[in-house]
Amino acid sequence: MNDDSIKESLPTNVVDIPDDVKPEDFPELLENTIVTFNTGDVIEGTIVRIDRNEIMVDVGYKSEGIIPLRELTVRKSSNPNELVKEGERIKALVLDKEDDEGRLVLSAKRAVFEKVWGDIQEISDNNKSIKGTVIEAVKGGLIIDIGVRGFLPASLIDVRRVKELDSYIGEEIEAKILELDRQRNNIVLSRKAHLEEEMSEERQGFLQDLEVGDIKEGSISSIVNFGAFVDIGGMDGLVHVSELSWRHVENPNEIVKVGDKVTIKVLEIDNEKERISLSIKQVTEDPWLDFELTFKENDVVDGEVTKVVPFGSFVTIGKGVEGLVHVTEISEEKVDSPELALAIGQKVQVKIIELDIQKRRVNLSIKQADPNWVEVEEEKNTPKTHSTESDENKKNVDQKSRRQKVEGVDESLDNILQELKDRGIGNT
């Protein structure tokens, strides 16, 4: 048998020996084929078989190792076929030099852990964000796969309150690292902080391009008791309740609803506080301009009740000017509860009894708009005046008459006494 035939008969897994190797080189070659692995070493191999509970890896040097499923990934209840494939190269940390079958026991997740922790520390030190996949929803928050398991509290998932945690499973997110403790393997994340940082950068860019006086289109994003917030395409701005309408508004829900499309005017920009003040009414025609030219005091006009309050009611007249009908001006009769006398939407005639264009204030009267009101007042006042004068005159005449009678009696009595005296009667 020649040398070539000997080579062909050798097992395929036996390393060929070079032709020029001398016998004295054999010990060194043999020594080089023996590799010792130590616990904690990170080695690389090729996946040769994927079983249900373990992965077999060829690490070379005639050695094989296994990765138990629990050591493949930080994720729970994972299908190994969804994570790795045969022929794929993989890094793993040596947990044990040999199992019962003489194989290396390896951990892929711990190899990742060693590398990832260094990366995580660098990301944390530089205040950067880290990407990860939501793998589990637990009580109080989410578990994020960032190479190791990170915890994202529910309160820090979003800038708004989150109710359905399960909806985030499988989603890739970015988050800031709030706490980092390698010894306890504890990582606390905040997606909210990342979102706020992003939004702040976006808001600053948006504010730089925004100017006072700009007219924008937007939609009502939320309503509060002091106004409404409008999304104008880059951030939200506030329309104060006083800027919702030219008429008096107490409840913003009377004017707008969430989702309504609106046109707004930019009134004020605060770059430091990242706040924008907006107005809806100032992009609509000012009804006072027409009102000033059309109406004057003592005019009687048609109106519509828009609001009823304990002290009266608000009535819209003209093209949207709102005036107050005080409770005392609703009716000739005493009105204790305006809501019993008037209803929202009711058509009424009112008289303008006071008009202040500068203060944009108009006081109205329903009772004085009654055509009979002046006549009634005259009838009530005229008899009252005449009666008073007549009674006073009569009183004066009676008093004068009584004085005259008394004076007459007194004079007659004096005459009689003087006559008796002259006759000597009555002297003692």
What CATH number does the domain containing 358 carry?
A: 2.40.50.140
Q: Which residue has the higher pLDDT, 57 or 385?
A: 57
Residue 397 in domain: no
Are 278 and 294 in a shared domain? no
> Is 342 a domain residue?
yes
Secondary structure of residue 201 in the 3-state scheme: helix
Contact 189, 154 (CB under 8 A): no
CB atoms under 10 Å from CB of 106, counted, come to 31
Q: Is the same domain home to 364 and 350? A: yes
State what percent of residues in the chain have pLDDT above 70. 78
- Among 173, 196, 219, the domain boundary falls at 196
pLDDT reported for residue 401:
55
pLDDT digits (tens, 9 = 90+) for 216-243: 999 999 999 999 999 998 789 999 999 9
Same domain flag for 183 and 132: yes
Does residue 175 lie within any of the structural domains? yes
- 278 in a domain, yes or no? yes
DSSP codes of every residue in 32-98: HT-----TT-EEEEEEEEE-SSEEEEEEETTEEEEEEGGGT-SSSS--HHHH--TT-EEEEEEEES-
217 and 256 both lie in a single domain = yes
Tokens at 224, concatenated: 């509060």
Whether the per-residue pLDDT at 6 is higher than 50: the answer is no
Residue closest to 353 by CA, chosen among 394, 312, 397: 312
Q: Which of 48-52, 65-69, 247-251, 281-285 has the lowest mean pLDDT?
A: 247-251
- The structure tokens 């003209």 sit at 318
Residue 161 gets which letter from DSSP?
-
The CA distance from 138 to 140, in Å, is 6
Print the domain residue range for 148: 127-196
Please write the tens of the pLDDT for every residue from 304-358: 998 899 999 999 998 888 899 999 999 988 998 999 999 999 999 999 999 988 8
Asked whether residue 241 falls in the same domain as residue 308, the answer is no
Verify that 317 and 367 share a domain, yes or no: yes
Interval 282-299 mean pLDDT: 87
Label the pairing between strands 104-107 and 129-138: unpaired
Q: Does residue 204 form part of some domain?
A: no
* Number of folded domains that form the chain: 4
pLDDT by residue (tens digit) across 14-23?
445 555 656 6
The mean pLDDT of 372-392, rounded to a whole number, is 55
Query: Residue 389 has what pLDDT?
Result: 52
The domain boundary, picked from 168, 196, 224, lies at 196
- Co-location of 186 and 241 in the same domain: no
> Parallel, antiparallel, or unpaired for β 275-279 and 236-240?
parallel
Residues 351 and 368 in one domain: yes
Question: What's the confidence (pLDDT) of residue 392?
Answer: 58
User: 310 and 331 share a domain?
Assistant: yes
Record the tokens describing residue 89, joined without a space: 């190269």
3-state secondary structure of 371: coil
Mean pLDDT within 103-110: 84
Report CA torsion sign: 96, 99, 103, 107. negative
Give the end of a domain, one of 357, 373, 389.
Answer: 373
Percent of the chain with pLDDT over 90: 39
Could you report the per-residue pLDDT of 48-61, keeping only the tens digit for each? 999 888 889 988 86
Give per-residue burial for 35-69: e unless 16+ CB within 10 Å, then b.
eebeeeeebebebeebeeebbbbebeeebbbbbeb
Whether 14 and 6 have beta carbons less than 8 Å apart is answered as no
276 domain residue, yes or no? yes
> Is position 62 within any domain?
yes
| Mean of per-residue pLDDT scores for the chain | 81
- Is 30 part of a structural domain of the chain? no
What is the pLDDT, as a whole number, of residue 61?
67
- What is the pLDDT at residue 91? 85
Give Cα separations from 344 to 100, 208, 353 (angstroms). Answer: 88, 45, 22
Q: Are 357 and 288 in contact (CB under 8 A)?
A: yes
Q: Confirm if 343 and 330 have CB atoms less than 8 A apart.
A: no
